[in-house]
Amino acid sequence: MFYSLDILGTIAFAISGVLVAFNKRMDLFGVLIIAFVTAVGGGTLRDLLIGETPVSWMKDMTYTYVVLGAAFFAIVFRRKINYLRTSLFLFDTIGIGLYTVVGIEKGIIAGLHPVICIALGTITATFGGVIRDILCNEIPVIFRKEIYATACILGGITYFLLSNFPIQNDIVFIIAGIVVIVVRLLAVKFKIALPNIYSR
């Protein structure tokens, strides 16, 4: 289950990166680079922080093949994907939901405190998008007032709350990931945002 979620998150973020690169009218090389950094950027930072080197995608070529496959899929079917105006948002949201629980599990395996595990999950879920946005000359979503990293934190809290009950780990993974996705979707639908600290 853990490995499957990691792969699914990689696919979602790779497609998200391709869609951003399309919007910036990048060439094929640019599209592939943005897809790759979006998919593995957060996980790379996470692995470096916990001292797990070489990082995951360097030890397992499956990640590289998955990123390339997802990127070419998005390129080939770009017209159908772009037809859905919310495609980028949906793939990005699915990605943060999946990667949050993957990052938390990595922290647990490393024997870290639950608070640090939640931080690792948030880093895993958001920093690929941060790198993507910086390379595309955009202000990263995490630095705006949108509910983004907050959704990851709530998903992480849900994970550890549920782990106190006799529930299978696979179910806990799924529920925590769904919480992240649902919170993000509801925040955007109902325009819920963090308070603005700047006075008008």
What pLDDT, on the 0 to 100 scale, is given for residue 162? 96
- pLDDT category, 85, cuts 50, 70, 90? low
CA distances from 104 to 13, 128, 136, 172, 186 (A): 18, 16, 28, 12, 23
Query: Could you give the CA distance from residue 181 to residue 187 in angstroms, rounded to a whole number?
Result: 10
In a domain, 43, yes or no: yes
In a domain, 197, yes or no: no
What pLDDT, on the 0 to 100 scale, is given for residue 63? 96
180 versus 90: the higher-pLDDT residue is 180
In a domain, 92, yes or no: yes
* Structure tokens that stand for 7 in this block: 């792969």
Number of independent structural domains in the chain: 1
Residue 140 pLDDT more than 60? yes
CA distances from 200 to 19, 46, 144, 195, 197 (A): 34, 38, 17, 13, 10
In a domain, 17, yes or no: yes
Domain hosting residue 23, numbered range: 2-189
In a domain, 194, yes or no: no
Mean pLDDT of 148-175: 94
In a domain, 133, yes or no: yes
pTM for the predicted model, two decimal places:
0.90
Average pLDDT, the chain: 90
In a domain, 24, yes or no: yes
Q: Which residues of 113-142 are buried (b: 16+ CB within 10 A; e: fewer)?
A: eeeebbbbbbbbbbbbbbbbbebbeeebbb
In a domain, 163, yes or no: yes
